[in-house]
Amino acid sequence: MNKKTVVVVVLSVILFLSVSSVLVINGFPDLTYDWTVESKSILKQYIKLLGFISVMGLVYTLVEGFKKTKPEDQDAENEVIQ
């Protein structure tokens, strides 16, 4: 596995875990019955922030992949024109 594949897998796992943990917190209130409303809200906000950062990382790797393939496409177009 190359480095980019490992990064994509790790970011995808982080995204999946963050979404599922927020759904568990919302879906099963008896798990956090002794927590205050503020502490639940703060925890969910941090988990959502972590998920958002992982989405931004996935978008960044996707854009970097497009940037690397773009010069190759430019070379192919230049050869066709000439």
Residue ranges making up the domain that contains 14: 3-81
Average pLDDT over residues 14-43: 93
- Provide the domain count of the chain: 1
Q: How far apart are the C-alpha atoms of 82 and 79, rounded to whole Å?
A: 5
- Of 29-33, 43-47, 64-68, the range with the lowest mean pLDDT is 64-68
Q: How far apart are the C-alpha atoms of 19 and 6, rounded to whole Å?
A: 20
Q: Which pLDDT belongs to residue 29? A: 87
